[in-house]
Amino acid sequence: MIPPKPAARPEKVSLRRYLKLFRDDILSAQPEKLYRAWMAEFRTPFFRSYMVNDPKLLREVLNTRPMDFPKSARIGEGLRPLLGDSVFLTNGETWKRQRRIIDPAFEGGRLRDTFPAMLAAGQAAADRITPSAQDIEPETSHAAADVIFRTLFSIPIEHAVAAEVFDQFRAHQRSQPIVNLAAFVPLPRWLPRFHGRRTRETARTIRRLITALTEARQAEIDAGHAPDDLATKIMTTVDPVTGTPLSTPEMVDQVAIFFLAGHETSASALAWALYLLATHPEAQDRCATEARQFMADPQFVNLSALRFTREVFRETLRLYPPVPMMVRETTRRESFRDRTAPKGAQVVLSPWHLHRHTRLWDNPDGFDPERFATENGRACLREAYIPFSSGARVCTGAGFAMVEGPLLLATLLARWQVAPVAGHTPVPVAHLTVRARDGIRLSVTPRTAP
């Protein structure tokens, strides 16, 4: 069975129609030809954008000269009420300082320390599930949020503040489009950004709750009895260049992006992985066998036993990259494949199109977890696979996610079997991440003994 993808728009539409499609869902707003194009140019009265699928150009933008292509401020406008000046949105020296403080918390040795919290969240998720035909996305969102609260602040999602943040975030996601007017029309800094009332309210509430958690943790650090979790590690790390730690407002910005990136993206990938396994029962059986063996002795050192499960998760990130597009901006005139991009042009890097590119991947729309063992798969893994971006701005939590994803799959599949529900084929759309338009309905039943 070929996994679903959204229908592409007609080749030619009016600018007004394109902007409406783009605001509703950036995936179905794009023409089919982008799955085979090396580059595409789009012009509006206010800016030019260039989608780049050529691996050589991707390396130039992400790896060779990343500081010449900073994050686009246009896209950040829609996220700033919640994320402030988080590491996801900043550039230049501010971004470098933030990464110097944050990165040590996610180094390899720290993953071993966070493993028990991830495992506990996965086991709690398996306990919450009940046999039924259900939308699995709320369950994966709950599980991923639980991981973040347990690893960041050593509290389960049942904690009152954690539960309220989770509820408010769901409301924020429903009210916040992936882009707002400022993404298309250049606005003076003094003009309002036209965020909806509900978006502003939920962002303020989330940040107030995160501020309370951060201030409480700072008090614990000052008293000398803070738990050894990610929040403590980040808040007690001093930038080796400036000699300063993150202030409380700066930490609130970072916690907001940890929650968005670490919860929303993981929830998306986990839900799509379960759908792919539901529609490919042989692959599900292989994962379930690994899961039962692993859960008999769930130790960090035994994660290598989830080899096929990890490949399933990696293939899921190829077919359904949680962040479907990333936007950079030119700081000077650039030459792209014999075209001149002016200063201030938008450079669109699209994992969604790159991962399904017909001139790069064998069977690009098919589900094949073993593709990465082939010559084509290994080559594409190096040149055309960027679910976490690449280069200097690669997601600092990439290693974290590649432990969390297979582990959560194992905790669920060891106890539960999933199957598709007739008449419910999910249609991917891009909101804050790649989700299903009407949810992902699966039939969940207890797994029988082997």
181 pLDDT exceeds 60?
no
Nearest to 270 by CA among 322, 306, 325: 322
Q: Are 78 and 404 in contact (CB under 8 A)?
A: no
Which has the minimum average pLDDT: 21-35, 40-54, 244-258, 271-285? 21-35
Nearest to 278 by CA among 417, 142, 132: 417
270 pLDDT exceeds 80?
yes
**Residue 155 backbone dihedrals phi, psi, to 5 degrees:** -130, 140
Q: What is the mean pLDDT of residues 176-202?
A: 54
Give Rg (Cα) of the chain.
21
**Helix 137-153 to helix 108-128 angle, to the nearest 10 degrees?**
140
Highest averaged pLDDT of the listed ranges 118-132, 167-181, 420-434 = 118-132
Per-residue confidence band for 21, with pLDDT thresholds at 50, 70 and 90: low
Nearest to 180 by CA among 23, 50, 327: 23
Given this model, what pLDDT does residue 74 score?
73
Per-residue confidence band for 66, with pLDDT thresholds at 50, 70 and 90: very high
Q: How confident is the prediction for the chain on average, in pLDDT?
A: 89
140 pLDDT exceeds 70?
yes
Helical spans, DSSP H, in 176-306? 197-223, 230-235, 248-259, 265-278, 281-295
Q: What is the mean pLDDT of residues 95-111?
A: 90
Q: Please name the residues in contact with 145: beta carbons below 8 A apart, sequence gap of 6 or more.
A: 157, 162, 165, 166, 169, 259, 263, 267
Per-residue confidence band for 169, with pLDDT thresholds at 50, 70 and 90: confident
Kindly report, residue by residue over 30-44, the tens digit of the pLDDT.
889 999 999 999 877
Structure tokens at 156: 């389960």
> Who has greater pLDDT, 81 or 242?
242
184 pLDDT exceeds 50?
no
Distance CA 254, CA 85 (A): 8
What's the CATH number for 15-446?
1.10.630.10
161 pLDDT exceeds 80?
yes
Given this model, what pLDDT does residue 188 score?
46
In three-state secondary structure terms, 339 is: strand
Q: What is the mean pLDDT of residues 105-132?
A: 92
Per-residue confidence band for 260, with pLDDT thresholds at 50, 70 and 90: confident
Distance CA 65, CA 59 (A): 8
**Distance between the two ends of the chain, CA-based, in angstroms?**
26
400 pLDDT exceeds 60?
yes
Nearest to 250 by CA among 101, 67, 106: 101
419 pLDDT exceeds 90?
yes
Global confidence as pTM: 0.92
Number of CB atoms found within 10 A of residue 294's CB: 21
Q: CA angle 170-142-131, nearest 5°?
A: 120
Kindly report, residue by residue over 190-209, the tens digit of the pLDDT.
444 445 666 778 888 888 99
Given this model, what pLDDT does residue 174 score?
59
Q: What is the mean pLDDT of residues 425-448?
A: 91
Distance CA 71, CA 399 (A): 22
Highest averaged pLDDT of the listed ranges 9-13, 102-106, 188-192, 262-266 = 102-106
- % helix / strand / coil in the chain, to the nearest 5? 55, 10, 35
Number of CB atoms found within 10 A of residue 96's CB: 15
Q: Please name the residues in contact with 221: beta carbons below 8 A apart, sequence gap of 6 or more.
A: 232, 235, 236
Q: Are 266 and 125 in contact (CB under 8 A)?
A: no
Per-residue confidence band for 392, with pLDDT thresholds at 50, 70 and 90: very high
Buried-state track 62-90, b at ≥16 Cβ within 10 A, e below 16: beeebeebbbbbbbbbbbbbbbbbbbbbb
175 pLDDT exceeds 60?
no
- 48 burial (CB, 10 Å; 0-12 / 13-18 / 19+) is middle
Q: CA angle 156-159-163, nearest 5°?
A: 95
Per-residue confidence band for 185, with pLDDT thresholds at 50, 70 and 90: very low
Structure tokens at 270: 């986990």
Kindly report, residue by residue over 324-355, the tens digit of the pLDDT.
999 999 999 999 998 999 999 999 999 999 99
Given this model, what pLDDT does residue 116 score?
96
